[in-house]
Structure 1
């Protein structure tokens, strides 16, 4: 990049590039080299979430990600491909979680007005979400590969017709007996306040075999 060029860009308003908008409280703005041509190997997502909303499981196969909490609170969950374990990190303002390149991960807001900044070491991070893999892989192949009932798989995945990005999708209706993501995210709050781990440790509510049932 010729930094003396008249076309060199040094400032940008992220509100001009909305990556995804679910509603007024759940939105992602993006900054990459297409928006700011003087960027090197860096980019970011400006993420706004309300309670129980989820940045769907995904990978960035060409970039590592540093998730910084500006306001609110969230759980950042990472699957370690070497230990085969799910790691869950509660972050509050001023705290970060690092997601290595290509690792499966997702984020869940645990309070309203959560604001996260996701910073990448690539000027255009690739986003490969679970919703695309589920809706584009034939149900017959999933059923055959994992020894599942094909009709059940088709029925379960039929509502996924687009890339979700922030879930649950708008208008989501679930069976009454099933715990919604928002309810599941709220259930452990009391225990969370009593058993908050030292920063950097994974958080698990002792009442459950997994933290935040229904989200993992």
Structure 2
């Protein structure tokens, strides 16, 4: 196997502690550590994210322009949702410890934790995982373009998007001030909402979780 790495060099690296490279930290229960060739120079074409989430926290909608992503559940449970660009279906894949979901390169997707202490590894076939975030698309596209393109009220667009001042990554943000408090239900709408195109959750799982005052169901379809 040919490699440009000089394995006799004093700078060659074989081990790394992921907690030394925090990509994003919302709080102690919701954070992402990153490992790429920038931290471990012997990695070549592989990298990973070490993800920890608590119930109803979301790794925001995004896509990876340079890599396929394999999501492995270590503990807890998560629903991986993605849009199939060929069928225009929004698919939901609940996974629990020992299970994986594969997200092809360039596919729009997001993750919703359905249990506390959820721990995931996201593995990429690229030396550095690149991504384009939904929050960046929303905050960096001029509101007048959004309003004009989709026939929306520009003032309402500005008001709705004004709180998004930086990448979200794990949402909702700690400073979220929705009044009155909203139930953390994840509403989804398929590209085609006719009954024959609605895709049921995969597997025999019950992911409706009851909490004081509300229930959480990541599969609820908005009417």
Which TM-score band applies after superposition, normalised by the shorter structure? 0.7 to 0.9
Q: Distance in 2 between matches of 1:204 and 1:51?
A: 11
Matches for 1:171-190 after TM superposition, within 5 Å: 171-176=175-180, 178-179=182-183, 181=184, 184=185
Superposition TM-score, scaled by structure 2 size: 0.83
- Is 1:63–2:67 an aligned residue pair? yes
Deviation at 1:43, TM superposition (A): 0.1
Aligned length, in residue pairs:
197
- Is 1:147–2:154 an aligned residue pair? no
Q: Distance in 2 between matches of 1:28 and 1:123?
A: 17
1:21-54: CA deviation from partner (whole Å, max 9, x where unpaired) = 0001100000000000001100000000000000
Q: Of 111, 132, 137, which aligns to 1:133?
A: 137
Look up the match of 2:84: 80
Query: Secondary structure of the residue that 1:94 maps to in structure 2?
Result: coil
- Could you tell me whether the CA contact under 8 Å between 1:90 and 1:203 is conserved in 2? no
Matches for 1:1-216 after TM superposition, within 5 Å: 1-176=5-180, 178-179=182-183, 181=184, 184=185, 197-198=202-203, 211-212=219-220
Distance 1:126 1:197, change over 3 A: closer
- Could you tell me whether the CA contact under 8 Å between 1:196 and 1:203 is conserved in 2? no
Structure 2: gaps (5+ residues): 187-199, 209-217
Superposition TM-score, scaled by structure 1 size: 0.85
Structure 1: gaps (5+ residues): 186-194
Deviation at 1:168, TM superposition (A): 0.0
Deviation at 1:173, TM superposition (A): 1.8
- Could you tell me whether the CA contact under 8 Å between 1:80 and 1:87 is conserved in 2? yes
- Could you tell me whether the CA contact under 8 Å between 1:134 and 1:157 is conserved in 2? yes
RMSD of aligned C-alpha atoms? Answer: 2.3
Deviation at 1:12, TM superposition (A): 0.3
Q: Distance in 2 between matches of 1:122 and 1:149?
A: 41
1:147-197: CA deviation from partner (whole Å, max 9, x where unpaired) = 111111111000000100000000212132743x3xx26xxxxxxxxx984
Query: Secondary structure of the residue that 2:80 maps to in structure 1?
Result: strand
- Could you tell me whether the CA contact under 8 Å between 1:197 and 1:203 is conserved in 2? no
- Could you tell me whether the CA contact under 8 Å between 1:68 and 1:117 is conserved in 2? yes
Q: Following superposition, which runs of at least 4 residues in structure 1 exceed 6 angstroms of deviation?
A: 202-205
- Could you tell me whether the CA contact under 8 Å between 1:89 and 1:203 is conserved in 2? no
